[in-house]
Amino acid sequence: MGEISAAEDGSSIDIPSVAPMPKKLSVLPLIALIFYNVSGGPFGVEDSVSAGGGPLLSLVGFLVFPLLWSLPEALITAELAASFPENGGYVLWISSAFGPFWGFQEGFWKWVSGTMDNALYPVLFLDYFCQSVPLFSLPAARVPALLVLTAALTFLNYRGLNIVGLAAVALTVFSLSPFVVMTVLAIPRIRPRRWLAVDLKVTNFRGYFNSMFWNLNYWDKASTLAGEVDDPSRSFPRAIFGAVMLVMASYLIPLLAGTGALDPSTTAEWKDGYFAQVGMVIGGAWLRWWIQAAAAMSNMGLFEAEMSSDSFQLLGMSQLGMLPAIFSRRSKYGTPTISILCSATGVILLSWMSFQEIIEFLNFLYAIGMLLEFAAFIKLRIRKPDLHRPYRIPVETFGAIVICIPPSVLLLLVMCLASVRTFIVSGSVMLVGFLLYPVIECMRTRKWVKFINTTVLPETCSNTSPVQSQEVTDESSVSLLPDYSYVKKETQMPRN
């Protein structure tokens, strides 16, 4: 992308068209990115077996939770992403429904939650290798390895979203292939009665629900890079539904094979990484090594997908005038350089936290953001019935409300099960967001830093619709208008 130039009065900037747009994502890479935003394969679902006291609750959970939680979130994401096909995703949805203050809070909560989530993957990558290479369990080797790994994965993200999308497709095939083989080998050993084993006396419901929630959330994440997708109004619904089927299959089939082939007495051993041992029992050492390698590579895909979503979210917020213009500065590969570096810094700073702490913290923040998204979805259906919706869930207002009830109940349940420490940390993050917004607005009004000059557009979001921009005379208050449906750059690059 080209250089960002300042306006003569120094108050705002436009982005001139000086470089061709990078190649857009097609449906298949988008499916892979959504798959890695949500899942990445069955790695991490092992805890649901031990926390649930046996296979039964785990299997029932991955049958029921997708219907009560994943499908509603996926449907809502498909409708709103098609209606707002620009970078920023849910920040646009919330801003259109409730104004820029809550849009900023949504973006801040989701960015912190996503950065916490991404801090897990370099750690998990090394954890899988520690089983075969114990050297990485020593702090003297582990810390440098984490820094080098994070830097390498961040550089790949910098090189272009299209490369990340193609890499995600290859990683999906590689990560799931050993489980296809494991399932075939497990068929003669499966005893269906083993699936019914459960011991409620040892059930850890907090761990069970957090495991379920973590393995089935983030369906909305890819919406933040909708502006980088080829024909997003059509591609997003198709990719979302394709990813739903892929995620459900990648969880249920290996779980059915593993728990059906192994004796229920091994329930307590089902912890993170246990699928490698399942592969050892079913196929031998070669399958164990294959699953370990697939798990390690899956964490790379998870990192890249999350980093892409987080960085393009910051870019979208910058284009909306919510963040300084430097966050929208792109590299020659079309990637938001400063936004990527900001997200990578957050990953490094958070990598010292424990796995369970990160899971609880990010789940709580994500739950708050999702409740706001459901509220925005309903409000937009009521207040803006004529909003351009290339894909629309085939229900009226009452049906839209009903769709949101089951996942909202689950969100509240996860929040109620959180520890006191999680309430304190999440409350502190929310307080920072409330204080940060007026600080940024003060920076804008006093012209301490450059912000992108934005323009309010009428009731549409489709970049295929012939929409004429409307002039706004008070540039300093553009991003503060509560009634806009969509905010776009005043000067936008022509797309091929």
Is 203 contained in some domain?
Answer: yes
Round to whole Å and give the CA distance between 403 and 424.
31
**Per-residue model confidence (pLDDT) at position 132:** 65
> Mean pLDDT of residues grouped by 10 in the chain (496 residues)?
44 44 81 91 88 91 88 91 90 94 94 86 74 70 82 88 90 94 95 91 84 85 88 87 92 94 86 87 92 88 90 92 91 90 85 71 88 95 91 91 91 85 91 94 89 55 36 34 37 38
Per the CB < 8 A criterion, the answer to whether 40 and 260 are in contact is no
pLDDT of residue 430: 94
Helix (H, G, I), strand (E, B) or coil at 283: coil
Judge whether 11 lies within some domain.
no
The total number of structural domains in the chain stands at 1
> How far is Cα of residue 35 from the mean position of the Cα atoms in its chain?
10
The neighbouring-strand residues paired with 184 are: none
pLDDT of residue 408: 92
Q: What is the structure's pLDDT at 131?
A: 64
Q: What pLDDT sits at residue 483?
A: 38
Q: pTM of the entire structure?
A: 0.81
Residue 3 located in a structural domain:
no
**pLDDT on residue 369:** 92
Residue 179 falls inside a structural domain: yes
User: Residue 40's domain is classified under what CATH number?
Assistant: 1.20.1740.10
pLDDT at 12: 46
pLDDT number for residue 488: 39
For residue 1, being part of any structural domain is answered with: no
pLDDT of residue 356: 67
Is 312 inside any structural domain? yes
Query: pLDDT value at position 290?
Result: 92
Q: Is residue 4 part of a domain?
A: no
Residue 67: predicted pLDDT: 87
Instruction: State the residue range of the domain holding 179.
Output: 22-466+477-487
Give domain status of residue 452, yes or no: yes
In angstroms, the CA 157 to CA 145 distance is 18
pLDDT score, position 21: 57
* Axis crossing angle, helix 420-445 with helix 355-383, rounded to the nearest 10: 60
| DSSP-assigned letters across all residues of 126-168 | HHHHHTT-GGGGSHHHHHHHHHHHHHHHHHHHHT-HHHHHHHH
